[in-house]
Structure 1
Amino acid sequence: MTATDPWHRALADLVSLSHRLPPDQLPVAINTVLRPLGATATTYLVDAEQRDLRPLPEPGRPTPDPLPIDSSLAGRAFTQVEVHAGQGPPPRLWVPVVNGTDRLGLLEVFPPAGADLADEAVRDGCRLVSGLVGHLVSSKSAYGDLLHRTRRSRPMGLSAELLWQLLPPLTVATPEVTVSALLEPCYEVGGDAFDYAVDGGTVTLAVLDGVGHGLPAVLTTSVALAALRAARRAGADLSGLVRAVDAAIAAQWRDARFVTAVLAEFDTRTGLLRYVNAGHPPPVLLRRGRAVQALDGGRRLPLGLPDERADVAEMRLEPGDRLLLHTDGVTEARDPAGEMFGLPRLADLAERHIGSGLPAPETLRRLSHAVVAHQAGPHLDDATLLLVEWSATAAASTEP
């Protein structure tokens, strides 16, 4: 693709327009730069519950209906992170929109009349534009409400509104490793949270569950999350992170509040995993597609409760290993008859989805929906999942 290629020109024009672009004008800008090519596009964003792709409204154009992820060609393009062609009428290309490897939605591109949907130049051009759209969706979301509103099927509760602003993107990948997470329910969360950082070959992980429900639990978890990040960014080791969260919670409350957690560091150069488990369900190790071990070392009381133990468990992972972290809202979710979802069911489903070669975010989407389907009613607790894949092949599958 040369500097004079029309798709390259469209990309440059979108960059130029983006500097003073309000969030609600993003669909207009996309079609402005595509117009010289004779192409148009509709932008879809995935909803908070990861069930539908919801269109961004554009002034002067009718807004189409949301598209179901599990029963549409568009949904297949989203879940497989691949360009798919729809013969129409009219013919179109479904092009994944990601920020890095965090799945945000799709572009529905109607190429110029007579264009060959199999032409790699056309597909590469669409990928270029959609790649920039992914970055713009992420960056422009901080400046207005339309992008947030589009991704919601109903109003968000106060505690959920607070928590979602604190969480990192759902997925990150490097050439060696992928980290992906999901949190349910989306609109009325309690005290669950997750965090990660990828720096210099070290992946730092955290899954947290604050005691209680609603806003009080979220406030406790928020303090723990802030203390964790402040200590980590100051260079603290795992034991230092534990002490920092203990001190932060104790300094704010005197009513025995606490947060259960798994804190971990994984060195992608050596395979060394170090972790602390503060009263939390143990992570599950999957090796060669099978759940082989629950990591039950590094035990101490929940964070915020006095405990002088600072034991850090260690183990050596193998290339291709996966680590599944979760909160008790996953395994303790009950169906109408009272049967828990359970760790064996979680491990079995994880094995099946991983064995089918799904990207990590799609594996978690299906696991999370299985928990929701099992419960068949209102959530009694948050259900958070975090999956780490130490595999170059798996990491590559998250990229369009």
Structure 2
Amino acid sequence: MTATDPWHRALADLVSRSHRLPPDELPAAVGAVLRPLGVAATVYLVDAEQRDLRPLPDAGRPTPRVLPIDTSLAGRAFTEVRVRPGQGPPPRLWVPIVNGTDRLGLLEVFPPPGTDLADEALRDGCRLVSGLLGHLVTSKSGYGDVLHRARRSRPMGVSAELLWQLLPPLTFATPQAAISALLEPCYEVGGDAFDYAVDGGIVALAILDGVGHGLPAVLTTSVALAALRAARRAGADLAGLVRAVDTAIAGQWRDARFATAVLAEFDTASGLLRYVNAGHPPPVLLRRGRAVRVLTGGRRLPLGLSDAGVEVAQVRLEPGDRLLLHTDGITEARDPAGVMFGLPRLVDLAERHIGSGLPAGETLRRLSHAVTEHQGGTHQDDATLMLVEWSADAAANTEP
């Protein structure tokens, strides 16, 4: 692609417009830069519950219908993170919108009549524009409410509004590994949370569950997250992270408030995983698509409770291994008859989905929805999943 290529000019035009672009004018800006190419487009964003693709309103154009992920061609492009042709007329392409490797939605592209949808120049140009669009959706979300509103099927509770502002993107990948997480119920969360950071080939991981429900639980978890990050960014080791969170929670409340957690560090060069389990369900290690062991080491009392000992366990992973972390809202989820979802069911579904070659984020989306369906569409408790894949192929699978 050269400097005179029309797609290159469209990309440069979108960059130029982006500096003073209000969030609600993003669809109009995309339309304006594509118009000289004879191309029209619609922006869809995935909703908070990861069930539907919702169109962004574009002034002067009819708003298209919401598209279900599980039963549409558009949804297939989203789940596979792959450009796919759509049914006409008119002919169209569905192009994934990602921020890095975090799936945000789709760009529906209508090229000029007679265009070959398999043309690589067309597809490369669409990927360029959708790639920039993913970064713009992420960066512009902090300056207005329209992008948040577009991703919601109903109002969000106060506790959920607070917690979602603290969480990292749902998916991130490096050349060596992919990390993905998902939290339900997304509109009325309690004390569940997750965190990760990647620096110098070391992946820091955390999954937490604050005691209680609603805003009090979220406040506990928020303090735990802040203390964890402050200590980690100051260079603390795993034992230091545990003590920092203990001190922060105990220093704020006198009512025996606590959070269960798994805190871990994974070295993507050596495969060494070091971890502490503070009263939390143990992670599951999967190798060659099968669960091979539950990591039961590194036990101590939940964070915030007095426990002088910090035992750091370690295990050596093999290339291709996957680590599945979860909160008790997953395995203890009950159907209307009172039957728990259970660890065996979770492991069985994880093995089946991982064996199908799905991206990490899609594996968790399907696991999370299976838990929701087991409960008849409602949640009695927060249910959080986190998947770490030590695989260059799995990492590449998250990219369009």
TM-score by length of 1: 1.00
The Cα offsets for residues 264-294 of structure 1, whole Å up to 9 and x where unpaired, read as 0000000000000000000000001001101
Alignment of 1:225-240 (within 5 A): 225-240=225-240
Residue of structure 2 equivalent to 1:4: 4
CA distance in 1, matches of 2:14, 2:112: 18
Other-structure match for 1:79: 79
Matching of residue 27 in structure 1 with residue 24 in structure 2: no
Cα separation, 2, equivalents of 1:343 and 1:208: 18
Aligned to 1:64: 64
| SS of equivalent to 2:70 | helix
Indicate conservation of the 8 Å contact 1:276/1:312, yes or no.
Answer: yes
1-structure distance, mates of 2:388, 2:210? 22
- How far apart in 2 are the matches of 1:272 and 1:244? 23
* Matched residue SS, 2:254: coil
User: Where does structure 1 lack aligned partners over 5 or more consecutive residues?
Assistant: none
Corresponding letter in the other structure for 1:201: G
After TM superposition, the structure 1 stretch with the greater mean CA deviation from structure 2, 370-379 or 236-245, is 370-379
Distance 1:234 1:346 in 2: 36
Distance 1:289 1:107 in 2: 33
Give, in whole Å, the separation in 1 of the partners of 2:143 and 2:244. 32
Amino acid at match of 2:288: R
Query: Once the two structures are superposed, what CA deviation does each residue of 1:310-341 show, in whole Å capped at 9, x if it has no partner?
Result: 10001100000000000000000000110000
Query: 1:112 Cα shift?
Result: 1.6
CA shift digits 1:202-254 (9 cap, x unpaired): 00000000000000000000000000000000000000000000000011000
The equivalent residue for 2:162 is 162
User: Within 2, Cα distance between the matches of 1:111 and 1:234?
Assistant: 51
Return the alpha-carbon distance in structure 2 between the equivalents of residues 87 and 146 of structure 1. Answer: 29
CA distance, structure 1, for counterparts of residue 29 and residue 330 of structure 2: 42
Using the alignment, how far apart are the partners of 2:81 and 2:311 within structure 1? 41
Structure 1 residue 347 and structure 2 residue 358: aligned? no
Q: Secondary structure at the match of 1:70?
A: coil
Aligned counterparts of 1:65 and 1:91: Cα–Cα separation in 2: 17
| 2:98 match | 98
Q: Quick one: distance in 1 between partners of 2:169 and 2:26?
A: 20
Per the alignment, residue 173 of structure 1 pairs with 173
Deviation at 1:114, TM superposition (A): 1.6
Partner of 1:107: 107
Residue aligning to 1:278: 278
- Measure the CA separation in 2 of the matches of 1:139 and 1:207: 25
Distance 2:85 2:318 in 1: 38
Which residue does 1:261 correspond to in 2?
Answer: 261
Amino acid corresponding to residue 146 of structure 1 in structure 2: V
Amino acid in the other structure paired with 1:77:
A
Aligned residues: CA RMSD: 0.5
Query: How much does 1:378 deviate?
Result: 2.8
**Secondary structure of the structure 2 residue equivalent to 1:169:** coil
The letter of the residue matching 2:362 is E
Which amino acid in 2 is paired with 1:349? L
What CA distance in whole angstroms lies between the structure 2 residues aligned with 1:87 and 1:330? 37
**CA deviation map 1:150-196 (0-9, x unaligned):** 00000000000000000000000000000000000000000000000
Name the structure 2 match of 1:296: 296
Give the match's secondary structure for 1:350: helix
2:218 is matched with which residue? 218
- Residue 86 of structure 1 deviates from its aligned partner by 1.6
How far is the alpha carbon of 1:377 from its aligned partner?
A: 4.4
User: Where in structure 2 are there 5+ consecutive unaligned residues?
Assistant: none
Which whole-Å deviations, capped at 9, do the CAs of 1:28-67 have from their partners, x for residues lacking one?
0000000000001000000000000000000000001110
Q: CA deviation at 1:113?
A: 2.0
Corresponding residue for 2:199?
199
What CA distance in whole angstroms lies between the structure 1 residues aligned with 2:22 and 2:162?
A: 23
DSSP-derived class of the 2:97 partner: strand
Tell whether the 8 Å contact from 1:38 to 1:113 is kept in structure 2 after alignment: no
* Count of matched residue positions in the alignment of Structure 1 and Structure 2: 400
